[in-house]
Amino acid sequence: MNLIEDRWIPVRRADGSTTRIRPAEIVGGASPVVALHAPRPDFNGALAQFLIGLLQTVAAPEDEYDWNDRLEQPPTQEELTSLFASVAFAFNLDGDGPRFMQDLEPDMGGEPAKVPIASLLIDSPTEAAIGKGTDLFQKRETIQGVCRECTATALFTLHTNAPSGGSGHRTSLRGGGPLTTLVVPQDQSATLWSVLWWNVLEQPEFLGNASVGVVTDWFPWLSKTRTSKNDEVVTAADGHPALVYWAMPRRIRMDFQATREGRCDLCGRAVSQLLERYLTRPHGMNCTDWMHPLSPYYADKQGVWLPTHPQDGGIGYRHWPDLVVGRQGTSRPARVVEKGVNRQRGAQRIWSFGYDMDNMKARCWYEAYLPWIELPDPAHRPLLSGLAANLVDAAMEAKDALLFALRKAWFSPHNKTRGDMEFLSMAYWARTEADFYNLLWQFAEAMSARQQESLEAARIDILQAWHGVLCRQSFGLFDQWAASGMMEYENPARLARAHHQLAGRLYGVKLRETILGLPPKEKTQSTKKRRSR
């Protein structure tokens, strides 16, 4: 099977039909391809990155004009077929020669372990979970046979997202379960080509000071594996830029000797060859010091830029400043996001996805679409970024105040009861999300309609409105949850004290003045008299 020449990528067309295509068929056809249609969401995310990586490696635009031309007038299937044919020999999934993302040597230089095919899947239960009987949601032995097409996708998905896999089993180039952010058109009926092309950088920008190089520089499986057994690392200084898409942290060799006929446990198709296991050894490539174009980054305490990873609670507006516009000195959006929003080509969205990993264990797959607030002048972006950061920081403070008050309302001071209050946090974020984006849109409209000197007044109006939203929603959730238990277990005095403490934090100096930067509230005449006594 060859991943350039064979039809293996599941897609959906504009007329609603589903089929499988080869990479060059992302364009053309009587009904255009509009979306990937894999049996798992992580496969869709991985296939998008596979196709973006392929385009970036062998079909990148020469400059901004070339990029624009290709967006408006995509290449033909014949053009893409010709471009991709130059690397087809590197994309064989099986055979005696180099195999896609697999060790070049059949025995991997030693005694490889034989591993069930299910272990290719990131959410597959670990050996420890199986031993303890804690494989409650993803049960053992549910994935025992996988078709070649799904195997190819799973293999790429694992290399791209690889979590910690035990001693010597490396994480991906971006660490275990990285967050990926892509620019996609707001129009949900846009073609798959436009979705992919928005995330391809111009050749000079992608390569930097590196040369185009040769195929063996791009695809590490064409040569003997650069193992990390002796702490060898592959840095951005000694690897080709294309390696960010094709790095191989795991040493794997698919076992095509152990196959059978049957239905694929992932896609359900009846095939003549189901793979049941693969061979593996530790100490694959250890890639460090790379900046992946599809990932946002944050600065640690030492100022080192690290890739962002999904966390508990999913992806929402509280991540908008970091993922879309960045915070000065502390976070950067993905290069493709930064480039995409600079293009000023109409309404876009940011497709964000990734695994929330707890070391070797996948806790959840998160996926969300975040809006881009279009600005009339890119020079205004720092103003929008600063405002968005203020709004999110204030929302975090109000959320913490709400959860603290609810604990005080529910439990006595001596009660050490602990528990997960994430359901309350999620309700809070959901209730405040629409207002957050509405206020950002209002500020963007003000920037296009007002002079620079009057923007401060508009900013203060937005901050005042947001403070009102946070107070209203926090008190509403407190009233809903604080007294939601049985009457005989409630303590009216404790509820009143908790409500008073919540009000103190919501109207206090820290939230209003320190975080939001609002002017001090004017003291009333009665307050002045009380303080003068």
Rounded alpha-carbon distances, angstroms, from residue 385 to 345, 351, 469: 20, 19, 20
At 381, the pLDDT band (50, 70, 90 cuts) reads confident
Q: Using CA atoms, how far apart are residues 325 and 23, in angstroms rounded to an integer?
A: 32
Comparing 149-153, 166-170, 272-276, the range with the smallest average pLDDT is 166-170
Percent of the chain with pLDDT over 90: 66
- Name residue 152's amino acid: A
Token match 């493709």: residue?
336
Q: Express each pLDDT in 272-323 by its tens digit.
A: 999 999 999 998 889 889 999 999 999 999 999 999 999 888 999 999 999 9
Q: Is the pTM of this model over 0.85?
A: yes
Contacts of 51 (CB under 8 A, 6+ apart): 9, 23, 26, 196
CB 107 within 8 A of CB 227: no
Quick one: the chain helix, strand, coil %, rounded to 5?
Answer: 45, 15, 40
Percent of the chain with pLDDT over 70: 91
What pLDDT, on the 0 to 100 scale, is given for residue 519?
86
The dihedrals phi and psi of 432, each to the nearest 5 degrees, come to -100, -5
For 397-424, letters b (16+ CB in 10 Å) and e give: bbbebbbebbebbbeeeeeeeeeeeeeb
Contacts of 404 (CB under 8 A, 6+ apart): 501, 502, 505
- Is the alpha carbon torsion for 237, 159, 196, 346 positive or negative? negative
**Mean pLDDT computed over every residue of the chain:** 89
Rounded average pLDDT over 228-256: 90
Q: Express each pLDDT in 91-124 by its tens digit.
A: 999 999 999 999 998 888 888 999 999 999 998 8
What pLDDT, on the 0 to 100 scale, is given for residue 79?
97
Q: Express each pLDDT in 440-493 by its tens digit.
A: 999 988 887 766 667 888 899 999 999 999 999 999 999 998 876 554 456 888
Q: Using CA atoms, how far apart are residues 371 and 320, in angstroms rounded to an integer?
A: 9
Q: Using CA atoms, how far apart are residues 256 and 277, in angstroms rounded to an integer?
A: 8
Tell me the two tokens of residue 263.
């239905």
Q: Do strands 234-235 and 287-288 pair parallel, antiparallel, or not at all (unpaired)? A: parallel
| Number of Cβ atoms within 10 Å of the Cβ of 58 | 18
The dihedrals phi and psi of 241, each to the nearest 5 degrees, come to -55, -30
DSSP string across 184-200? EES-TT--HHHHHHTT-
| Number of Cβ atoms within 10 Å of the Cβ of 486 | 6
Helix (H) or strand (E) holding 160: helix 148-161
